[in-house]
Amino acid sequence: MGDARVGLVIEDDHDIRELVRVVLTQAGFDVTAASSGAEGVLAAKELDPAVITLDLGLPDIDGFEVARQIRQFSDAYIVMLTARAEELDTLIGLESGADDYLTKPFRPRELRARVAAMMRRPRSTSDVAEENGAPSGAANAESIFSHNGLDMSYDSRTVTVDGKELSLTRTEFDLLHALLEAGRMVRTKADLVRRLRDEPYDVGSYISEADERSVEVHMGNLRKKLGDSAQSPRWLQTVRGVGYRLAPAEH
Ligand code: CA
């Protein structure tokens, strides 16, 4: 679903809106801009974009509520753009369904890099089918994972729990996939940030504390959707101060 070439900019500041429009256009998107939250939600519904940049401080409804509303019908990759003073709020933004965030002022190439990394991660069954077996890291045949009643097919991007299909965002899916793939090996939060940015695990690029906390928020969202318990997990086990791994197999 969704047009892989459509981008949407929701931003009331004219200069930033035009800057983001240029960056996304250069990245190959057909860009539509909206200057209020309500307009943005409508445009998202109408255009079904693959990428949305979302300003937190909008004149009508705030970015959190916009993200929540868009998530009701869209699995677009949502990047929240926040002022530095609002940095803490980014965590609430991720809780409300955004995938990632950038703090203003940001460098255009940083936004370009985030979007490019995301576009390399397949989004849905149809995207994968179109690429015809192209995705890296899953080269050999089918990638199917089963653990404690959860089944994931990497190729069709589907997850079921006790036979019931879940609707995960691309970010949630990729985090879950990283843990299933690692088995009982611990994935650090930095590992998982790199995974989402499509960087090798051991490249040693700088990962901020805020980036690590964003992984905690995505894991919290994922845990909620799975109906998993942090205290006695069926799937997502927290390794305090380090990261996450798959809970032991049930007997
Ligand atoms: Ca604003």
Domain span including residue 161: 125-246
| 89 shares its domain with 173 | no
pLDDT attached to residue 125: 46
Label the pairing between strands 187-188 and 243-246: antiparallel
What is the Cα 120 distance to its own chain's centre?
A: 12
Last residue of a domain, one of 93, 120, 147: 120
What the block records as the tokens of 95 is 């809780």
Let me know: does 37 contact 60? Beta carbons within 8 Å: yes
Number of H helices, E strands in the chain: 9, 12
CA of 22 to the centre of ligand 1 (A): 18
* Distance from residue 251's CA to the centre of ligand 1 (Å): 52
**Residue 206: which CATH number?**
1.10.10.10
> Is this model's pTM higher than 0.75 or not?
yes
Q: What is the CATH number of the domain that holds 81?
A: 3.40.50.2300
Total domains in the fold of the chain: 2
Please give the distance, rounded to the nearest whole angstrom, from the Cα atom of residue 90 to the centre of ligand 1: 14
For ligand 1, an ion, list residues with CB under 5 A. Answer: 12, 55, 57
Q: 10: exposed, middle or buried (C-beta count within 10 Å: 0-12, 13-18, 19+)?
A: buried
Regarding whether 222 and 148 lie in a shared domain, the answer is yes
Q: Do 185 and 130 belong to one domain?
A: yes
> Are 74 and 185 members of one domain?
no
CA of 219 to the centre of ligand 1 (A): 28
Per the domain annotation, does 251 fall within a domain?
Answer: no
pLDDT at 251: 76
Residue 102 lies in a domain: yes
Distance of alpha carbon 235 from alpha carbon 173, whole angstroms: 13
Alpha carbon of 83 to those of 9, 55, 68, 101, 197: distances in Å?
Answer: 16, 9, 20, 10, 22
What does the block give as tokens for 189? 């939060």
End-of-domain residue from the set 61, 91, 120: 120
φ, ψ for residue 36, nearest 5 deg: -140, 165
Q: What is the mean pLDDT of each run of 10 residues along the chain (251 residues)?
A: 82 96 94 98 96 94 94 93 75 88 89 87 52 45 88 93 93 96 94 88 78 93 96 96 94 76
Task: Tell me: do 89 and 136 sit in the same domain.
Answer: no
Task: Give pLDDT, residue 206.
Answer: 82
